[in-house]
Amino acid sequence: MHKQWEHSHNNGSRIVMIDLSVASGFVIGLVFGAVDLLSGFCLMSSLRDMWTKSDTRKIRSFATAIAIAIIGTQILAGSGLVNISTSIYLQPSFSAPLIFFGGLLFGLGMVLANGCASRALVLLGKGNLRSLVVITIIGITAQMTLKGLIAPARIAFLDWTRTTPTAVSAPALLSTMGLDDTAARLIATLIASSALLIYAFSDKQFRRAYGQIAAGVIIGLLVVAGWVATGWLAADDFNPIPVASLTFVSPLADSVQYTMLSTGLTLNFGIALVAGVLIGSLVTATLTGRFELEGYTSVTHTGRSMAGAAFMGIGGAMAYGCSIGQGLTGVSTLAMPSFIALIGILCGAAFAIHSRTRLLAFAFR
């Protein structure tokens, strides 16, 4: 049954139907924006802190978020409450080279732009005008890659390298070894989540970082909430919507298009999520005295940021997600393509952060 809220206008002349998935996306975005702003939750800054400062608190927070997301998502899937098999992450065929290369580009881009897509939204909310340029370019280049000028090349490469493996997720892989579906899901979930939580909490410094622990737990739960919003609250056999959760590249592309063609487009979970993150960050920054207008400091700074944004838009579209969309939401499904994308993102970021070339060294000036 399609669940909706009805709100009557004061004049009683009409009724506005608000899709619960859209409302939920906005609320989830509000919480994400606030938590991200207060904690600095970001894969790029986590990796930079780990590789340049030997500070692993943020990356352990990210690991905690993945673990919580995996546990919650697999409970939803195992109970039958949400059918995650219809999500983009668990499609029967995929192109591993395309996804890896897209992840590589995204990882490189997020270092050049000094933050991923979700972080750019959060920083815009606190007055960072550079982020407006970043999210606009991400949206445009992602749309170009998904449906525009770059789409034919992407689709041709996808068709050339597409494979249809026997199993596309860790539980499915275990099932091919003779385990029943429930046991396979349980074992895969326990192994993955336990490894992540053991890594996260094995560090004494992190165990005392209560804010980072809370951020990881909350954002992991937001991924679960996103699945519930799109896969249960909005479930409708007559008007189905894609099952999804936190991700930002495609929603940014949709948001840019929606700002120009709103009368011809439908508001969806992703667009509402983007709006929620921006407003959540803005409100939190204002209430905590963190709001401050910032801009570019040089032509080099501008060029680096724009190039990074373009890499993120193109790469994120090729990889079907960003550091949050694939690295957190996708991995929560235990899908093989999501692990491939995350490895690509990590490799791209590692190259950028450790590179000694003049171009990439600019990222930390």
pLDDT of 7 > 90? The answer is: no
Q: Is the pLDDT of residue 17 over 70?
A: no
Model pLDDT, residue 14: 27
Six-digit token pair at 170?
Answer: 């860790």
pLDDT in the model for residue 297: 87
Q: Which amino acid is at 227?
A: W
Q: What is the pLDDT of residues 118-146, one digit of tens each?
A: 999 999 999 999 999 999 999 999 999 99
Q: What is the pLDDT of residue 75?
A: 97
- Which pLDDT tens digit goes with each residue over 315-361? 999 999 999 999 999 999 999 999 999 999 999 999 998 874 444 44
pTM over the 0.85 mark: yes
The tokens describing 13, both together, are 């002349």
Q: What amino acid occupies position 226?
A: G
| Residue 363: predicted pLDDT | 45
Task: For residue range 230-244, list pLDDT tens digits in order.
Answer: 999 877 666 677 799
Task: Please compute the mean of the pLDDT values over residues 82-104 and round it to a whole number.
Answer: 96
Q: Give percent of the chain with pLDDT exceeding 90.
A: 82
Q: How many Å apart are CA 96 and CA 164, to the nearest integer?
A: 10
Question: What pLDDT was estimated at residue 122?
Answer: 97
Using 50, 70 and 90 to split pLDDT, how confident is the model at 214?
very high
- 58-77: per-residue pLDDT in tens? 999 999 999 999 999 999 99
CB 340 within 8 A of CB 103: yes
**Do 327 and 345 contact (CB within 8 A), yes or no?**
yes
155, pLDDT greater than 60: yes
Measure CA 61 to chain center.
15
Residues 294-311, mean pLDDT to the nearest whole number: 92
Please determine, for residue 8, whether its predicted confidence score (pLDDT) is greater than 70: no
Sign, CA dihedral 41-45-49-51, equals: positive
Residue whose entry in the numeric block shows the structure tokens 């999501």: 338
User: So what's the pLDDT on residue 360?
Assistant: 46
Q: Give the pLDDT score at 134.
A: 96
- With CA atoms as reference, report the closest residue to 124 among 350, 292, 359, 349: 292
Segment 163-191, tens digit of pLDDT = 999 999 999 999 999 899 999 999 999 99
Mean model confidence pLDDT for the chain = 90
The values of phi and psi at residue 13, to 5°, are: -80, -20
Q: What is the pLDDT of residue 238?
A: 66
